[in-house]
């Protein structure tokens, strides 16, 4: 009986501790070399209504989606989003004409495209229906695909 109670307590403790842990995923190339790391957390956003000139401000949060590759970093937050999405591109000295950010529906329809991304990019999906979208970021010949959830 003591063993059963101890086992149940250990399982509950492990579950509770697991809820607060970060979800870290790694991607590998065909040779088995690690090429990227993705940390999945949550994020918060605050929308300040100002009529047509609606402003978006983000609360300071340590939670975001990020990909780190060769000391370069892409952060996308908040995801899931209610409409406003921010993409931070850090560590890239030259965002050249070959760089772009595109957002597609799961059916392949292009919803958003920026051929001149900057280090901070705000994307508004407020007028789009809730669902799953795909974001493709191309920088210096490197392509990164992200799943975006619109609530």
Domains defined for the chain, CATH in brackets: 24-150 (2.60.40.3080)
pLDDT score for 39? 60
Give the residues across from 36 on adjacent strands: 27
pLDDT of residue 150: 93
Helix (H, G, I), strand (E, B) or coil at 143: strand
Q: What is the pLDDT of residue 15?
A: 58
Nearest alpha carbon to residue 64 among 84, 39, 91: 39
Q: What is the pLDDT of residues 21-70, one digit of tens each?
A: 556 677 777 777 777 766 655 443 333 333 344 444 444 444 566 666 55
- pLDDT tens, position by position, 57-105: 444 444 566 666 556 788 899 989 998 999 988 887 767 777 889 999 9
Region of poorest pLDDT, from 46-50, 124-128, 138-142: 46-50
């Amino acid at each position: 009986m003591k063993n059963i109670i101890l086992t149940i307590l250990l399982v509950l403790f492990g579950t509770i501790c697991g809820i607060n842990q970060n979800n870290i995923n790694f991607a590998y190339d065909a040779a088995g070399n690690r090429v990227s790391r993705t940390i999945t957390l949550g994020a918060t956003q605050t929308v300040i209504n100002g009529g047509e000139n609606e402003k978006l401000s983000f609360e300071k949060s340590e939670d975001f989606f990020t990909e780190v590759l060769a000391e370069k970093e892409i952060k996308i937050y908040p995801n899931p989003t209610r409409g406003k999405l921010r993409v931070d591109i850090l560590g890239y000295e030259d965002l050249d004409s070959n760089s772009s950010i595109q957002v597609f529906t799961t059916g392949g329809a292009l919803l958003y495209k920026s051929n001149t991304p900057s280090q901070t990019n705000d994307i508004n999906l407020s007028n789009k229906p809730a669902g799953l979208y795909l974001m493709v970021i191309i920088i210096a010949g490197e392509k990164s695909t992200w799943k975006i959830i619109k609530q």
